[in-house]
């Protein structure tokens, strides 16, 4: 079985090479993303493995079908980048990694939150310049605050457990309320009430047509002045233009994001010697109360191991003709 990996970095190659020792697979690693220009690299392979920002549209799917590819293994949880209807018509199966160390993403969300509200990144830069002044570094306690958690899947649950350890009150919204979370003191409320009552809001829901731009001018108007907003889920959950306006009006006190709605043109690349054409992220970076990381919330040794083993086992199950427990379908 030959597998073509797209959008790979050194950590992908190391992890998959290590964990493929028990499988009789030939792995081809390509640094480039999967797109209309690079899809021909998949020829001669039976499976492709792509990442979150590889757009797999009908054109690419038809090309893959022509090459005989019948399985696409997404080494990520999100799958909105795939035209599932077109894949189903062509008989191409899609699998994903629904959960890979949810604690990794949850802990990064907490790291963004703490860095924002305690301004440790600014203190670090000051001290390196022998500036030990505390002026402008006043933050606030998480203890006693109301934290709104949107989405209590595996990552949202991990975030709730950590936040409870800080002594925060957790308000949550999810289409399916978790009895496990209720047992530890999480209170489920309608979405509007979570927005209205929370001083901190952390997003942990998937990107769907219903959740796209969940944070917009209307929902921002419900929030408290000075709200802290954290997003480690999907970039398009946030309407960036609306958030920029909310930052300018001081409606948002702090913004911490690990994802961005136009990130496929920017993230996972070294653009330090280039001028960014994306005016919105450039504008975001001018705000002193905005913290951006480059989609690294998943990047721990434990998560990489889980991604590799889950993906390879899905390929093995496909090869054996077994049930694909991590398959996603259009319907």
Over residues 256-289, the pLDDT tens digits come to 999 999 998 899 888 999 998 899 999 999 999 9
Q: How many CB atoms lie within 10 A of CB 36?
A: 11
- Asked whether the domain spanning 102-292 has the same topology as the one spanning 2-100+300-320, the reply is yes
Give the burial class of 197: count Cβ atoms within 10 A of its Cβ; 0-12 exposed, 13-18 middle, 19 or more buried: middle
| Mean pLDDT, the chain, integer | 96
Residue 187 β-bridge partners: 171
Q: What integer pLDDT is reported at residue 279 of this predicted model? A: 93
115-119 contact pairs (CB < 8 A, 24+): 115/256, 115/291, 116/228, 116/230, 116/254, 116/255, 116/256, 116/289, 116/291, 117/142, 117/228, 117/254
Distance between CA 130 and CA 142 in Å, rounded? 29
Q: Which position has the token pair 């792995």? A: 27
* Beta strands, E only, 92-220: 93-95, 146-150, 169-173, 187-188, 200-203
pLDDT tens-digit map of 74-114: 999 889 899 999 999 999 999 999 888 899 999 999 999 99
Distance between CA 273 and CA 295 in Å, rounded? 20
CA 276 to chain centre: 22
Written out in words, the top-level CATH class of the domain with range 2-100+300-320 is: alpha beta
For residue 331, pLDDT beyond 80: no
pLDDT tens-digit map of 210-225: 999 999 999 999 999 9
Closest CA to 7 of 71, 63, 51: 51
Catalytic positions are: 234, 263, 295
The pLDDT confidence band at residue 145, using thresholds 50, 70 and 90, is: very high
| Homologous superfamily, domain 102-292 | NAD(P)-binding Rossmann-like Domain (3.40.50.720)
The pLDDT confidence band at residue 30, using thresholds 50, 70 and 90, is: very high
Q: Domains of the chain: which residue ranges?
A: 2-100+300-320, 102-292
pTM, two decimals, is 0.90
Q: Which residues contact 313 (CB under 8 A, 6 or more apart)?
A: none
């Amino acid at each position: 079985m030959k597998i073509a990996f797209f959008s790979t970095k050194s950590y992908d190659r190391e992890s998959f090479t290590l964990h493929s020792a028990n499988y009789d697979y030939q792995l081809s690693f390509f640094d480039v993303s999967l797109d209309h220009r690079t899809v021909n690299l998949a020829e001669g392979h039976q499976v492709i493995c792509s990442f979150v920002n590889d757009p797999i549209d009908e054109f690419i799917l038809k090309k893959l079908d022509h090459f005989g590819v019948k399985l696409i293994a997404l080494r990520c949880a999100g799958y909105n980048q795939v035209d599932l209807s077109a894949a189903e018509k062509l008989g191409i199966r899609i699998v994903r990694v629904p959960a890979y160390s949810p604690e990794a993403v949850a802990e990064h969300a907490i790291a963004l939150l703490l860095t924002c509200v305690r301004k440790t990144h600014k203190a670090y830069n000051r001290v390196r310049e022998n500036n030990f002044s505390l002026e402008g570094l006043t933050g606030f306690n998480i203890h006693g605050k109301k934290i709104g958690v949107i989405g209590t899947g595996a990552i949202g649950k991990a975030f709730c457990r950590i936040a409870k350890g800080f002594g925060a009150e957790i308000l949550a919204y999810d289409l399916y309320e978790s009895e496990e979370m209720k047992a530890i003191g999480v209170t489920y409320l309608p979405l509007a009430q979570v927005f209205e009552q929370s001083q901190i809001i952390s997003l942990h829901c998937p990107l769907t047509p219903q959740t796209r731009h969940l944070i917009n001018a209307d929902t921002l108007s419900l929030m408290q002045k000075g709200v802290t907003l954290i997003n480690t889920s999907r970039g398009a959950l946030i309407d960036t233009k609306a958030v920029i306006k909310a930052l300018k009006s001081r409606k948002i006190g702090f913004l911490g994001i690990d994802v961005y709605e136009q990130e496929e043109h920017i993230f996972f690349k070294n653009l330090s010697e280039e001028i960014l054409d994306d005016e919105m992220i450039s504008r975001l970076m001018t705000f002193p109360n905005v913290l951006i990381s480059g989609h690294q919330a998943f990047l721990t040794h434990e998560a990489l191991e889980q991604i590799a083993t889950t993906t390879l086992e899905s390929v093995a199950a496909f090869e054996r003709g077994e049930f694909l427990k991590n398959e996603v379908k259009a319907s």
